[in-house]
Amino acid sequence: MSPVNNIAVDSAASANGASSSSSGVTAFKVDSPYVHYGESSIESDYLYDTTVVSRDAATGQLKAKPTKVHYQFQTKTKVGRVGLMLVGWAGNNGTTVTASILANKKKISWETRKGTQEPNYFGSVMMASTVKLGVDSNLNDVYVPFNEVVPMVHPNDVVIGGWDINSMNIGDAMRRAQVLPVDLQRKLYDELKELKPLPSVYYPDFIAANQEERADNTIGGTKQEQLEQLRKDIREFKQANQLDRVIVMWTANTERYADIIAGVNDTADNLLKAVADGHSEVSPSTLFAIASILEGAPFVNGSPQNTLVPGVIELAERERSFVGGDDFKSGQTKIKSVLAEFLVNAGIKPLAITSYNHLGNNDGCNLSAPAQFRSKEISKSSVVDDMVGANNILYKKGEHPDHTIVIKYVPSVGDSKRALDEYVSEIFMGGLNTISIYNTCEDSLLASPLIIDLFMMTELMTRVTYRVKSDADSDEPEWAQFHSVLSILSYMLKAPVVPPNTPVVNALAKQRMAMENIMRAFVGLPPNNEMLLEHKAFH
């Protein structure tokens, strides 16, 4: 397949900037001596307020010391042309996001039983939610779209391509997925059928045996030769479409966990040698991550397996490339990260969280194999850990709620996953409270907006640098990029991978607050809070 065989923006739209964000224009301008708008960047001075806590050795009393750290941020405002390469492009998520972006870009509506439906980006926090900017002179809240806090790429402008172990064109794969309404499929089919995925990497040991019949579009040769082919694919895609940058995202099948072996995947050099030696514990997703890193393309893992082994993270740090993961956080787990936080913060003690779900898409088929289910079980099970660890009144050291996860494959329900959850909690004076939830999740329609959000946030981070100022500095410190592991993506991921020695945050409200306030810092605005002192203080 030619690397130009993908969905691209119109040349006129690319030249003129089809959206305000993509053209570097935002919905507001900050009026502050600490913010400078240049021709190609926004620079801000920002005082980060934090509290350092120590314990008095003699009395055991905690001492809290407010501290300010002086950051400077520089955000390039020109987005340029950006490409997204999906691994598993012909799967449910890949075809759904591709078709949906095309429908939005071309404003293609379709008929339903309830009338005409217009395309939208509902479910995307970047495209369909707002951020409180501040208050006006009458103390009324003022909101702006999340994607206009800083200049961001617009999904309508993205160039899409990718790989798949199955050779089916994207139009027929969209029909096979049975996710989108038939009338919309009909209107998109002629354009999508011209798109075909590049051959991908297939190691039968890493995915379920029931996927073998799909694997008719694979790269041959040694692992080293496969790595070189993936790198070549990324380069040719970038060159053929005249892109400024490419982002690679794994949205293919869940793999089994790879064993972490000393001398194999524990360091960058060992991992590269393991590829050269064709070691069996180098997974397809890890091979894609390595190829992306070596080509300077950010890589995001949307499935639960441990793609980002220690050697991958060290390689990303060494090459100053970005990685993020793991596992799209769409329906059941997102609810869990909200409800568990609510219960613990309310002083209620969850004793048992039991999650059952069944689904009938190809993801469910693959997850019916024990090794692949185990990867999903691990990513789902850790979602309450930070909330439990934050409350030593409810939970003594080592104590944790019983947490059980069951996934069953039921072909007849297709992409419409059924999720049942039961939360049993201890309340006042030894009482018990039980909350039961039944949730019907249209799996790919929840996951596809996450792909858009992950793509948009990852692209933004490629244009941001920072430095820390100190009164002791005699020279200006150099600008640096953020850490290679993008923990800012945690809101969209079940099992967030974070930089070494960084706490994992799963609570959804905290994750969104972090994302929002970091973006505010880029334009010199203080973090949002809900103190509302302007309303509570005496006038």
Phi and psi, residue 516, nearest 5° = -65, -45
Cα(84)–Cα(94) distance, rounded to whole angstroms?
Answer: 11
**What's at 292, amino acid-wise?**
S
Number of Cβ atoms within 10 Å of the Cβ of 287: 21
Number of Cβ atoms within 10 Å of the Cβ of 63: 10
Paired tokens of 473 = 């500095």
Positive or negative: CA dihedral 191, 193, 194, 198:
positive
| End-to-end Cα distance, the chain | 69
Q: Vertex 490, ends 366 and 46: CA angle to 5°?
A: 165
Number of Cβ atoms within 10 Å of the Cβ of 419: 21
Determine contact, residues 446/330, Cβ cutoff 8 Å: yes
Strand 480-481 with 464-469, pairing:
antiparallel
The candidate with the shortest Cα–Cα distance to 304, out of 330, 282, 279, is 330
Cα(94)–Cα(174) distance, rounded to whole angstroms?
Answer: 9
Catalytic residues: 327, 376, 417, 494
Q: For residue 223, give the 3-state DSSP assignment.
A: helix
Determine contact, residues 292/248, Cβ cutoff 8 Å: yes
Cα(412)–Cα(361) distance, rounded to whole angstroms?
Answer: 9
Paired tokens of 235 = 């380069």
- Full DSSP string of 154-180: -GGG-EEEEEESS---HHHHHHHHT-S
Cα(231)–Cα(236) distance, rounded to whole angstroms?
Answer: 9
Cα(248)–Cα(291) distance, rounded to whole angstroms?
Answer: 10
The candidate with the shortest Cα–Cα distance to 152, out of 179, 122, 125, 118, is 125
Cα(42)–Cα(104) distance, rounded to whole angstroms?
Answer: 29
DSSP at 96 = H
The candidate with the shortest Cα–Cα distance to 492, out of 360, 379, 388, 404, is 379
**What's at 83, amino acid-wise?**
G
Determine contact, residues 164/38, Cβ cutoff 8 Å: no
Determine contact, residues 375/495, Cβ cutoff 8 Å: no
